[in-house]
Amino acid sequence: MTIMTGLPESVLVTGAAGNIGQVLRRTLLPKIARVRLSDLRDVGPLAAHEEFVPADLLDLDQVRAAVRGTEAVIHLGGVSDEAGFDAIKGPNLEGVYNVFEACRREGVRLVVNTSSNRITGFHPAGTTLDGEEAVRPDGLYGAAKAFGEALASLYADRFGLDVISVRVGSFEERPTEPRHLHTWLSHDDAARLYGACLTAPPGSGHVVVYGVSRNTRSWWTQNAAASALGYRPADDAEDFAAELGAFTEPHQGGRYTRYEYGGWATRPGDTREP
């Protein structure tokens, strides 16, 4: 195993059983000397440099035990799509607080906080965003991610924690729908991006970066602080444009902005339970 220069020697990954976690285990994480994986689900067979520490994000003591002794945390845990408030509030609100608070108490310097493009889903399609615009979430999931970014800013300003909030785009092996021409994040570029975030120098504060590949039609660019991380994407959804067609919805969030998306909101006069 070759260790990449500039990366922390020990990293915790929450939500390690999820899609991004599993891809990073094949791409980026083998370059780190000691990797601690955490989830409530089985993460599968462990490599020699990996260990598994189960932790419920709702239990601060368990989260503290998971982060203890690590240099950085990649926070991937939580509900990963739109859902009702009862489902979202625990993992995505209390859970992200527990991660930041555990890092503060245990002296962990750096958190790579997985946010989402859904935090700006109601911005018009075609508008270029760089992470410094107002949030316009397309649902409760996006609103919870906005709460996580607000916490990240608080913990950076008040306690000196360095946090990179990654507004992950459409994380797919390859683009499969028209929206992905603007939002795709390839597996290889995700490894490049998270690797760049882990090398953020001390004193970076809170930085927002869009997790997107080098798409010709991208709606998202990087602000100066994000560009300084050195992320250099290589993949372009345009290579798949001929088979995808054009995106025609008015907002960047597309179907995620629709009234009924996620199943928790019914229209006035509809007496059916959501």
For 145-201, the three-class secondary structure string (H helix, E strand, C coil) is: HHHHHHHHHHHHHHHCCEEEEEEECEECCCCCCCCHHHHEECHHHHHHHHHHHHCCC
Q: What is the mean pLDDT of residues 204-230?
A: 97
Indicate the SS3 state at residue 116.
strand
Q: What is the mean pLDDT of residues 5-23?
A: 95
pLDDT band per the 50, 70, 90 thresholds, residue 267:
confident
Q: Where are the domains of the chain?
A: 10-257
Element (H, E) at 11: strand 10-14
Token match 């998202």: residue? Answer: 220
**What pLDDT was estimated at residue 270?**
75
CATH topology of domain 10-257: Rossmann fold (3.40.50)
pLDDT band per the 50, 70, 90 thresholds, residue 94:
very high
| In the predicted structure, residue 5 carries a pLDDT above the cut 80 | no
**What pLDDT was estimated at residue 255?**
97
Q: What is the pLDDT of residues 29-75, one digit of tens each?
A: 999 999 999 999 999 999 999 999 999 999 999 999 999 999 999 99
Assess whether 97 carries a catalytic annotation. Answer: no
Query: Which residue among 97, 141, 155, 231 is the active-site one?
Result: 141
**What pLDDT was estimated at residue 1?**
36
Backbone angles phi, psi at 215, to 5 degrees: -80, 135
Q: What is the DSSP secondary structure assignment for residue 274, as one 8-state letter?
A: -
pLDDT band per the 50, 70, 90 thresholds, residue 3:
very low
**Could you tell me the pTM of the whole model?**
0.96
